[in-house]
Structure 1
Amino acid sequence: MSNQLPSHAQVVIIGGGIVGCSTAYHLVEMGWKDVVLLERKRISSGTSWAAAGLLGQLWSTSPLTKLAKYGADLYAGLEAKTGQPTGYKRNGSLRVSRTQARRSEYQRALGMARAFGIKMEEISMEEAKKLFPVMQTDDLTGAWYQPDDGVTNPEDTTQALAKGARMGGATIIENIKVLDIKLENDTVKGVKTDQGEIQCEYVVNCAGMWGREVGKMVGVSLPLVAAEHMHMTTEPIEGVYKEMPYLRDMDGYIYIKEEMGGLLMGGFEPMAKTWGVKGIPDNFEYTQLDEDWDQMDLFIQNAIIRCPAFEETGVTNLTTVPESFTPDTSYLLGEAPGVKNFFVGCGMNSVGITSAGGAGMALATWIVQGYPDEDLWPVDVRRYNKWQNNLKYIEERVNVESVGNLYADHFPFKQPTSSRDVLKTPIHDRLKDLGACFGVVSGWERANWFAPEGVEPKYEYSWERQNWFDFSAREHMNIRENVGIYDLTSMGKFLMQGKDAEKVLQTVCANDVAQPVGKVVYTQMLNERGGIEADITVTKMEEDKFFIVTAGATTTRDFDWIKRHTPKDAHATLTDVTWSYTMLGVMGPKSRDLLSKITDEDLSNDAFPFATAKEIYAGFATAYAVRMSFVGELGWELYIPTPFAQGIFDELMKAGEEFNVKMCGLHAVDSLRLEKGYRHWSSDISPDDTPYEAGLGFAVKLDKDDFIGKAALVKQKEEGIKKKLVIFTIDDPEPLIYHDEPIYRNGEIAGENTHGSYAHVSGHSIGMVYLSNREGIRDEWIMDGKYEIEVENKRYPITIHLKAPYDPQGKSIKA
C-alpha cells in the first residue's frame, strides 16, 4: 500500500471505510485508474470494522432495493475475484411481529418484495422454529422468511474492496489527515493534507462520522452526528447452527445472528446516545466506547423474551462503537449542492455494510457518466436545507428518534416529535388555534389536517383509517363543493432576473416560457435523457423577471439544478425568495366570490383567465395572485409578502364566514390532486420518467429552440413510448393504499402503485402506476387487461382510468 502522496489524481476519496473502498473499487472497474483514497488511520478502522454485517435486500423503494441486491451479489463474488476472504454467507433472514400493526406492516412489505423482485414469504411458527430453533414464538403474530438475505464480515469485506481497488490501479494511502479542500469558482480543485497537497477534479466525501466536518470545508450542509451502537456476543448455545438465518424482532428493538456457535445480539433503542458532538479524538482507531449495561438492558430483556437461552448463557463480549446518523435515518449520497464535483457518501445510519456495495456503485456511475442509473431522491444529499446542519437540531433528532426509527413501527404519515417548531409560516399560530395538526416536510411545519372543536389535533397511527380520515374528507369535499384555504408557504420560490433570464429558462424548461408578462407556464426541467428533474411553474412578472415555484422538499435540489445550468457569462441571477412570501391557496367553486370580498380586482374569466398572474390589492395590503390550481378547482394561489400575511389571512377568514370557508390540510390537498390526476415529483414522476411516459406531453414544446432533453424526446416521439402512467381506483371502497403495492395485469405483476390516497368524491382508494409493454404501449392494450392490486397479501380488482376520474375535461379550473 503506497504511502507517497501524488501531486495529482482524477478523483480523491476521503475515508477508507466500506463506502469509500466500494467507491474506489467501482471507479477502477469503470475504467478510471487515477483514483486516490486517503484514510486518516487504517482501512476499516473507523466504524466499518465493528458492524454486525447483516445484508438485508428489501428497502422502502425499488431503486434502493436494487442497490442493496446489487451489493449482496457483489459481496458474494469478492473473494473469488480478489483472493481476500469476506465471510459472506447467504443464509437468509427472518423477521417476526409481536403486534397486529407490525403484522400489517410486514404483509405490505411482502407485496413490495413481490413488486421489487425480492424473495419473501410468510411462514408458519413451526417453520420459523425449524429455521431458528432457539426462538420463542408463543407471543408472535407472524413470521416472514427472506432466503436471499445474508451476512458478511465487515472488516474482511472492506479489505476485499480495497484490494480490488488496488488491483485495478487505485492508490490507497493510510495515516494521512485531510485538512482542507481547495475550490475555484465553486468547483473542486484539490485537497490539502498534513503530508502536502494533491490536485484533483473530483472529491468524494466518504468520511463517515467525520463527514459533516469535511462538508464544512466546502460550505456544504451534511446533517449527521454519531450515536452509540452496541451489540454483544454469547458463549455457544445448544441448537444454534452455522448457517442459521439472522433474525429481526423490531417490536423488541433487536436483531440476532449466529456467531461462533453462540449468538450476536444488538438493537436500536427508542432513546439513543449521541457521541462526539463536540469533536472526535484524533487518536480514534478501532476504538470501543465505555460499556453501558443500563443502555443495553432494554435489548437484553427483549432478547430473553425471544430467545430464553440468553438468560442463562454467558456473555463473551460487549462492543460499543459510534455510528453516524442523519435526522431522517436515510444516508447522504450524490453531488452536493453549490459545489461542482464534490460528491458525498456518508451518514449511513447503521446500514453501511448492506448499503455500501450499491452506494459505491451509484457514486462511481454518477461521477463517470454524469448521472446515476437510478432515482436516488430518498438518499439525495440535496434533500436538506443549509440550516438543518445546526448541531442542536441534528443531535435532538438523532437522540430521540433517528436511531429508534430504524426498528419503530413504520406507520404511514408518521411525523417526527423532536426538533420541531423550527421553521413556521407566518400564520402558524392562527392555524394552531383553528385546530391544525402539523406535520413536517423539509423542516417546515405544515398543517396536515384540522381537528374539529373538542378533538385533540394529534395523530393516532395505524395501517387502517387513521383518526383524521373523516376530518380530511370534509376538507376535501368543502373545496370540491364550496371554498377552502390551505397554507403552502413551504413551496420553494425563486426569482430569475436579468436580460438573459428568459434565454436560460428556455434552455432548462421543456415548455415555452417566452410568454407575455403575467402568463403562468407549467413545465418540467429535464435531463439529457428526457427524464424529469423538476416539476415547476414559471411566471413572467416583467420582461426580465421570472417567478419560479417548486415543491418545498425539492427547493435546494431545484435551485441547484437551475444554477448549474446557468452559463457563467449569462446576465441572469437566481435568488431564493422562499421565506419572503407566504402562499395561501384559495380554492373551490366559490373562491372567486370569496376573493371578490377583499379585493377590487376584476376576477372574472375574461379579466383574469386561468394560468395568468397579477399583483392585486387584498385587504389593506398587496399580494401576487396566480390563477393556478393543484387541486383541480377554480382558485388562486396568493403569494403574499411575509409582513402582510397575517392581515390578508384574517381578511380572508372574516369574509369567508359568508361562504362557510374552511381551512384545508395537506392530506386533503394530496387526495384532491390525485383525484384530478395531477402528478407529484418523486412519487409519480422522476428523472427516470419522461413527460410523454408520464402523460405530460402537453407541457413539451418541441418547436422551440433547443432545450435540455429535447433530442431524447424527439427520438422517443418518433419511436413511441413503451411505458405509460395511468390512474386507477380500487373497486372495493375499503382498502387503503400508500405506495409500491404491486399491480397485476392478467395475473402477472405489471408495476407498482406510485402513490396512493382516497378519492372522496367516488369513495375509493386511488393511485397511479406505470404500465409497460416492450412492443409499445397503446391505450387499447392497456384497457384490454384485467387488473388487480395487492394489499396486505390480498388482491382487489381495480379500474384503470386513462383520464382523471374527477372532471376529466378540466372545466372546474377554468370556470
Structure 2
Amino acid sequence: MAGPRVVIIGAGVVGAALADEISARGWTDVTVVDQGPLPATGGSSSHAPGLVFQTNSSKTMTEMARYTVEKFCSLDVDGQPAFLQVGGLEVATTDDRLTELARRHGWITSWGVEASLLSADECVELYPLLDPSRVLGGLLVPTDGLAKAVIAVEAQIRRATERGVRFLARHEVLDVVQEDGKVTGVLTDQGELPADIVVCCAGIWGPRIARMVGMNLPLTPLAHQLAWTGPVPALEGQTQEAVRPILRHQDADLYYRDRYDRIGIGYYGHRPMPVSADDILSVEAAQDMPSVMEFTEEDFEPAWTETRSLLPAAREAKIEEGINGLFSFTTDGLPLLGESPEVKGFWVAEAVWVTHSAGVARGVAEWLVDGYCSSYDLHECDVNRFEEHQLSPEYVLARDCQNFVEVYDILHPLQPSGAPRPIRTSPFHPRQEEKGAFFLEATGWERPQWYEANAGLVEGRSIPTPNDWAARYWSPIVGAEAQATRETVAMYDMTALKRLEVTGPGAAAFLERLTSSKVAKSVGSVTYTLLLDHDGGIRSDVTIARLARDLFQVGANGNLDLDWFTRHLPADGSAAVRDITPGTCCIGLWGPLARQVLQPLTDADFSADGLKYFRAKKAYIGSVPVTAMRLSYVGELGWELYTTADHGLKLWDTLWAAAEPLGGIVAGRGAFNSLRLEKGYRSFGTDMTYEHDPYEAGVGFAVKLDKEGGFIGQEALTRRKENVSRRLTCLTIDDPQSVVMGKEPIYDGDRPVGYVTSAAYGYTIGKGIAYAWLPAELAEPGRTLHIGYFDQRIEAQVAAEPLFDPTMSRLRG
C-alpha cells in the first residue's frame, strides 16, 4: 500500500529515521523536506557529538535508546559504520556519585540492558587516561557507543529512497496549509506539497513550525558546549577513531569521546544559554551551520581545568576548536510526540536526541500506521500531556533551563521542582500553611506531603526510620498520619486529581464505547473502569459517577485522558467534555469515625444504606453544596466530597470543626500512598501503563468482555486474556529500614526477572511494600525474591493481596 500522503518536515536524524520506519511499514507516498543540504542539514544532528548512553530512569527512554543502538549497528554508508560500539563508562569521583551509579545500575538492569559496576582499578584499566587518584568506581554499559549521526541519516535516506520516499533538500517551509481543522499540505519556497499527514521533525525549529497550526510547543533550544583538543601526545599513533569507551564525569557535568589522537569534551556546567527558535539563523545566513553558535571560552574554563585534573594527559594539549551547539530541551526532559489536539493530521516528533532517534521513529511510525504504538509505552512522551500553565512562556523557559542545569545532577524521586512556584493552590491552601504543610508539586498543584502540626502524634508510636535515601523528603509524621487515619478520621486534599464533566444526550453511549465496564447505570452510580487502546493496553483507570441522566463526572489521571475523550467525541455533537478541575475542589474524609464527623452536619442520609459503597449523591454539608461519592483509595470508610472552589474553604472549616473534637487530623500524600499500597490500589503511570493489559495488572474485574455494544480494545482483550505471561505482584519486606523507592530490579537468585513500580512502608501492617512486574510463574505467594537497592540485595516475599482488610469490611461498613 502507498498509504496516505505524508510530508515530514526535517531530514535530520529523527526525520530520516521516521521516513525509513514508516516506508518499511508500507507507507511510501512520503516526502521529506529540509531547508538545508543532505545529509548534513545544519540542525542539531549535524554537530551532535554522538555519545549514546542508554541508561535512563525512564523504561521507555532506555528501550528507545536500545533500539537506536541495535539499528545503527546495522547501518553503514559505503562501508563507513553508523555506530562505534566502544561501550559507555560513567565514573564517580565522590561517594554520592558512587552511590548514584549503583542506583543507575539498578535502572539499566531493570530495563533489561547488560551493565556492570566497576572498581576504580577496573575503570583505569578500561580508560587509562584517568587519574587513578580521582576515581572511586564506575558503571559500564558495553553496548553504548558513538553514533555517527550524519552517516546514520544518509543510510536511512538511502533505504527510504529505495522504497519510493522523496527527499527535498533546500526547501524552506513557509506554512502548513489546513482546511476545516485538518492539514492539506505544506507550503515551501518552491511550491506546495499536498499532504494528509504532516510530521514536524524540525528539532530546534520545532516551535516555529508548530505555531503555523496554532500549536504551542514547550521546547527551548539551549546552547551546549563541545570542544576538541589538539593532538594529545599520549594518543599519538591512534589510527582508529575511537578505542576507549565514551566517558561521563557527571560530578563535573562533563563527558568525553575519542577522535583519533584528540579528545572531545562536552560540558553542561555552564550557565543556561537559551535561544528563541525565531532567532536561529537560516542555512544561508549561518557562517557554519544554523545550530552552531560562537564558542564562549570563558564559560568553558572550569571544564578545561577539571579535564586536566581528571585526564592528566590532556595537560600536554590545548583546546583547538569549540562550539556552542544548540539542542532541544523540554520542561520534563522527555520528547514531544503525537498529534495536535486541534489540527487533525499535524504530528510532532520533537526534542529527540540522537540517542533515542530511531526508537522514537519506530514508535511514531507504529502509532501512525497502526493507530497505536506496540513497541513502547509512550504516555510520558505524548505532546498532549501538559496542563495549560505548563505551556506558558515563563514556565517553559524556566523549567527548560532548569533541566539543562540538572541534566547530570543526582535527583531524588520526590525532589520538588524549582521556580516558578507556587502556581496552583487549592482553596484549602491557607489552612494547610497554618498547619505547617510540607508541600510537593503535582501538575502545578501545591500538595501537602505531611503536616508539621501532627508532630505530636509521633510520640509513642512505632514508626521506623527508613534508609538515608528513602528518608529524604520524609518525616515520621507520615507514619503517624497513616496510623491515625485507620484509628480515627483524616481529611485529605484531593483537589489535584483531574476532574472531567461529560454531558449531553449522547454522553452515556459515548462513555460506554470508551470504557471497559458498564457505566450507563442508574443515577447515583459510581463505576471504576478502564480506558483501553485498540491493542487492549491500559490508557488509564478512571471513576465515572452518573450524577444525572445526561451528566457524568469522571475522576481522571491527567490531561491525556481529556485528550482521549476529546478525540473520540461523537461527530453529531451529542456529547461534550470539559475540564472542571480548576473550578472545583475535593476533600477525602476517611477513617472509622468518618460517619460520626459527617452525619451531624447534614440532613442527607449517610448511613451504610443511605449511601452505599460506590454510590454518589448531592447534599449540603452545613451551608456547602457538595457531591459526595462513597469511595476511598486508603481503604477506609468515607467519602470524596466535591464542591466549587468558592465554597472550598468553608467546606474545610466545617469538616475540621467537626473532626477535631473526635481526634481527627489532616493528612498528606505520604500517608495516602502508604495506605493505598496496603490496600493494593494501582496507580496509572507507575504501576500500569499503555504496555500492560488489565489481566496482567490485576484489574481484570473492571472489564466486561460481554458488554453490549462493545468498547475500544475489546477484541484485542479477548485474545490477550488467556496469555498472561507477567503479573503486577505484591512483595513485602520485613526489614523496616529497607524501604525501596521504585524502578529497582527484582532478582530470582542472580537472574534479574522484573522491576519495582510503587513502594512505601506500610505503617499499619508493619512491613515494607513493593509492587513489581514479574513473570507469572514467579508471582506465587510465599516465594522469596530479592530487590536490588543501590549496592544491596533486599529479601522480599511475594504476598497475597490486599494486605489490609481483604474482606472489605471497613470500606463497606
- After superposition, the C-alpha distances for 1:210-240 in whole angstroms (9 at most, x for unaligned) are 2122222223332011111111110222444
Partner SS for 1:41: coil
Residue number in structure 2 paired with 1:328: 332
Match of 1:812 in 2: 810
Distance 1:18 1:496 in 2: 42
Moved more, 173-182 or 283-292: 283-292
Q: Displacement of 1:343 after TM fit?
A: 2.0
Which of 18, 25, 33 lines up with 2:28 in the alignment? 33
Assess if the C-alpha contact under 8 Å between 2:416 and 2:440 holds in 1: yes
Tell me whether 1:504 sits opposite 2:503 in the alignment. no
CA deviation string 1:283-329 (max 9, x = no partner): 35613323222322332233233223444421110111221111111
Cα distance between partner residues in 2 of 1:617 and 1:412: 40
Asked whether 1:713 is paired with 2:705, we answer: no
What does 1:149-188 correspond to in 2, within 5 Å?
149-188=144-183
Partner of 1:3: none
Counterpart CA distance in 2 for 1:462 and 1:794 is 13
Which runs of 5 or more residues in structure 1 are unaligned? Answer: 1-7
SS at match of 1:782: coil
- Aligned positions of 1:203-602 closer than 5 A: 203-240=198-235, 242-269=242-269, 271-276=271-276, 279-282=279-282, 283-284=285-286, 286-287=289-290, 288-348=292-352, 352-373=353-374, 374-399=376-401, 401-452=402-453, 463-466=469-472, 468-551=474-557, 554=558, 556-602=559-605
Aligned Cα root-mean-square deviation (Å): 2.3
Give the match's secondary structure for 1:812: helix
Letter in 1 for 2:745: P
Structure 2 counterpart of 1:563, one-letter code: T
Taking the aligned partners of 2:225 and 2:15, their CA distance within structure 1 comes to: 23
TM superposition score normalised by structure 2: 0.93
CA contact (8 A) 1:228 1:320 kept: yes
Q: Deviations over 1:546-575 (max 9, x none)?
A: 111112xx2x21111122222212511112
CA distance, structure 1, for counterparts of residue 739 and residue 101 of structure 2: 15
Is the CA contact 1:221–1:384 (under 8 Å) kept in the aligned structure 2?
no
Q: Is the 8 A contact 2:379 2:690 kept in 1?
A: no
What SS is found at the alignment partner of 1:180?
strand
Aligned equivalents of 1:806, 1:270: Cα separation in 2: 51
Cα deviations by residue, 1:266-286 (Å, 9 ceiling, x for unpaired): 122274121126633343561
- Aligned pair count reads 789
CA distance in 2, matches of 1:206, 1:744: 40
Change (3 A) 1:660 1:383: same
After superposition, what is the alpha-carbon deviation per residue over 1:633-667, rounded to whole angstroms, capped at 9, x for unaligned? 11111111011111211222232221333222222
Distance 1:20 1:430 in 2: 51
Residues 784, 417 of structure 1: alpha-carbon distance in 2 compared, 3 angstrom cutoff: closer
Q: Which amino acid aligns with 2:146?
A: V
C-alpha distance 811-139 of structure 1, shift in aligned 2 (>3 A):
farther
Q: Which of 127, 130, 135 is the aligned partner of 2:130?
A: 135
Counterpart contact for 2:33–2:169, Cα < 8 Å: yes
Bigger shift: 373-382 or 31-40? 373-382
Distance 2:363 2:768 in 1: 35
Residue-by-residue CA offset, 1:455-498 (whole Å, 9 max, x unaligned)? 9xxxx996242252312112222222222222221211111111
Q: Tell me, in whole angstroms, the C-alpha distance in 2 between the residues paired with 1:119 and 1:739.
A: 20
Q: Is the 8 A contact 2:106 2:788 kept in 1?
A: yes
The answer as to 2:71 corresponding to 1:77 is no
Counterpart Cα distance in 1 of 2:103 and 2:794: 14
Is 1:48 matched with 2:45?
Answer: yes
| Aligned partner of residue 306 in structure 2, secondary structure | helix
Q: Which of 178-187 and 93-102 deviates more?
A: 178-187
CA 68–253 in structure 1, closer or farther in 2 if over 3 Å, else same: same
- Residue equivalent to 2:680: 677
- Counterparts of 1:476 and 1:278 in 2: how far apart (Å)? 51
Task: Supply the AA of the counterpart residue of 2:381.
Answer: V
Q: Which moved more, 1:633-642 or 1:719-728?
A: 719-728
How much does 1:784 deviate? 6.9
Deviation at 1:753, TM superposition (A): 1.1
Q: What is the CA-CA distance between 1:123 and the residue it aligns to?
A: 1.4
Q: Deviations over 1:388-427 (max 9, x none)?
A: 222111112222x110221010222112112221222222
Instruction: Indicate if the aligned counterparts of 1:745 and 1:785 stay in contact, CA closer than 8 A.
Output: no
Specify the alignment match of 1:737 in structure 2.
740
String of CA shifts for 1:648-692, please: whole Å, max 9, x gaps: 112222322213332222222222211110001111112222222
- Show CA shifts across 1:421-450 (max 9, x none): 122222223322322222222233222233
1:791 Cα deviation from its structure 2 partner: 1.4
Q: Cα distance 1:426–1:190, how it changes in 2: closer, same or farther (>3 A)?
A: farther
Change (3 A) 1:485 1:185: farther
Deviation at residue 509 of structure 1 after TM alignment: 0.7
**Matched-pair contact (CA < 8 Å) for 1:84–1:156:** no
> In 2, distance between residues paired with 1:746 and 1:323?
43
Mapped to 2, the partners of 1:188 and 1:765 lie a distance apart of 53
> For 2:377, what is the secondary structure of its paired residue?
coil
Cα deviation for residue 147 of structure 1 reads 1.3
